Amino acid sequence: MSGWESLLAEVPRALFIPDTIWVDDGRGFTALSKHQDPTGWQAAVDADAPVVTQVDGGQPPAGGVGGWPSSSCSQPSLVADMLTALAPRPGDVVLEIGTGTGWNAALLAHRVGPAGRVVSIEVDPELAEHARSALTAAGHEPLVITGDGAAGYPTGAPYDRLISTAAVREVLPSAWLAQLRPGSRLVTPWGTDYANGALLTLELGRRRTATGRFHGDVAFMRLRDQRRSLRSWEPDEQQITDAQLTTTTCRGRDLDRMLNPAKGKFVIGIRLADTSLHVEWDKHGPGRHTLDLDDPTTCSFARLEADLTNPAPFIVRQLGPRRLWDEAEAAYDWWHGHRAPGPERLGITITPDTQTVWLDKPTTIVRRWSLAPPPPRQPSEETSPWPHESAENWVAPGFVET
C-alpha cells in the first residue's frame, strides 16, 4: 500500500459525504439517501468512483431528477494520483482550489501536519459550510474560504503547493502563479472546449517562469467562471441547411482518432482555438452520428454527418468566418504527422507574458497564448459541464467500419 493509499484509509471519505448523493440512472441524476438506502449509499461511497454530491447548482428541478452534476467527491484512486503528483511535505503551506466535500483538504492537512497550513477555497457557500462542518467533526483544521478560486487567496500567500480540483480551460489564472513561492509546485486538471483534458504538473522557477508536463486523461468540472456551454452557440436549422455544403475523405477510423481521449483528442483540442465539440451518437439511427463544432465568439459552426452504414463520403456543412471542420482536419493531419502524440509528450511553459504548449521540446510549438487580458465574452446559456468519457472507458461507438 502506497503512502497516499494508506492515508486515504486513515481519513475515510464517508465522513465528508453528505447524507444525500446523486446517482445517474439513465434518465438523469436521482437522489440516493443515506437514511432511506444505507446499503446503496455506503456502496457508492466505498467504490473507487466519483460521488456526485450536488446537481444543477444546488437547485434540482421538481421531481427530484437532476440534469447535471455541479459538485462531486473525486474517485479515490485519482485523488491519490493527484496528491502524489503534488507531493506536499510536512510543514508546507498549501492552497486548494475547490473544497467540495472537504475530504481532499483533510488529506492535505493530515500530510502537512501541525507545522503546515492548508487553505481551501470554495465558490459555493452551501458546499463551503458543509465542508467546514465535516472537517471540524473529523478533527481537521484547514481554513475554508468562500470565494472565487480563480483569484486564489493572497492573504495566505506565498504557498509551497497549489492543487485545483476544478479543471482549467486553456489558460491558468494568473493569480495562482503569483501566489506561489519560487520552487513550488502546482497540480490541476487542464483541458479545452474540445477535449476534457489531462493532469498538468507545474514547477515555478526563480524567474517566475513555470514549466510542466501533462499526463493521463481526466475529467473534472471546471472553474465556474471558465465554464462554457458544450453547445453555447448554434445557428438555427435553416441556417445549417443553407450553409456551405462539402464532403470529407475522413472515415470512421479517422473520427475515432479525432474523438478518442487515448488518441488524438487532447492534442487536436489544443490546436483548435476556442472550438467547442458536441457529438450526438446514433442521432439518425445506429451508426449515424452527428458531430458539431462551434465558436460562439465568431459565430462559426460546422456539422459533420457521419453515416457509417453508407460508403458514400460524409457530409459537412460550415458557416461563419472560420471553417471549423477544415481546421479540425488540419489539426488531425498535424497530430498524425507528428507520430500521433498523446498528452505525455506535451509540455507547457508559462512566462508573465505568454503560455506555450509544446511537443517533446519547447521549440516544437503546439499553440501559444498571449496573456494580455482578453475581451469580455458574451454571456451564453450554461449547459452541463459534466465530462463524457475518459480514455480508460472509451468505446468508439461504431466508428471503425467493417
**For residue 47, is pLDDT > 60?**
yes
Task: Categorize the per-residue pLDDT at 231 as very low, low, confident or very high, splitting at 50, 70 and 90.
Answer: very low
**For residue 3, is pLDDT > 70?**
no
Half-sphere exposure of 199 (CA within 13 A, CB side): 20
Among 147, 152, 174, residue whose Cα is nearest residue 163: 152
Question: What value does the mean pLDDT of the chain take?
Answer: 89
Say what the pLDDT of residue 159 is.
Answer: 98
**One-letter amino acid of 211:** T
Task: Categorize the per-residue pLDDT at 63 as very low, low, confident or very high, splitting at 50, 70 and 90.
Answer: low
**For residue 189, is pLDDT > 60?**
yes
Q: What is the pTM of this model?
A: 0.88
Cβ within 8 Å of residue 25, ≥6 positions away? none
Among 200, 212, 338, 210, residue whose Cα is nearest residue 267: 338
| Radius of gyration (C-alpha) of the chain in whole angstroms | 22
Three cell numbers written together for 330: 488540419
Say what the pLDDT of residue 256 is.
Answer: 95
Task: Categorize the per-residue pLDDT at 201 as very low, low, confident or very high, splitting at 50, 70 and 90.
Answer: very high
**For residue 62, is pLDDT > 70?**
no
Say what the pLDDT of residue 250 is.
Answer: 95
Q: Which residue of the set 70, 71, 72, 74 is catalytic? A: 74
CB-based contact 251:167 (threshold 8 Å): no
The span from the CA of 160 to the CA of 349, in Å, is 19
Among 150, 72, 188, 162, residue whose Cα is nearest residue 108: 162
Say what the pLDDT of residue 110 is.
Answer: 95
Alpha helices in 16-124 (DSSP H): 38-46, 76-86, 103-112
CB-based contact 183:206 (threshold 8 Å): yes
Tell me the percentage of the chain whose pLDDT exceeds 70.
89
pLDDT digits 0-9 by tens, 316-375: 999 999 999 999 999 999 999 999 999 999 999 999 999 999 999 999 999 999 997 655
pLDDT digits 0-9 by tens, 240-299: 999 999 999 999 999 999 999 999 999 999 999 999 999 999 999 999 999 999 999 899
Helix (H) or strand (E) holding 267: helix 265-271
Q: In the 8-state DSSP scheme, what is residue 156?
A: G
Three cell numbers written together for 273: 482555438
Task: Categorize the per-residue pLDDT at 397 as very low, low, confident or very high, splitting at 50, 70 and 90.
Answer: low
DSSP string, 307-318: ETTS-SPEEEEE
The span from the CA of 333 to the CA of 325, in Å, is 12
Determine whether 74 is an active site residue.
yes
Q: Per-residue pLDDT averaged across 169-174, rounded?
A: 93
Say what the pLDDT of residue 5 is.
Answer: 75
Three cell numbers written together for 396: 468508439
Task: Categorize the per-residue pLDDT at 233 as very low, low, confident or very high, splitting at 50, 70 and 90.
Answer: low
Among 180, 154, 176, residue whose Cα is nearest residue 164: 176
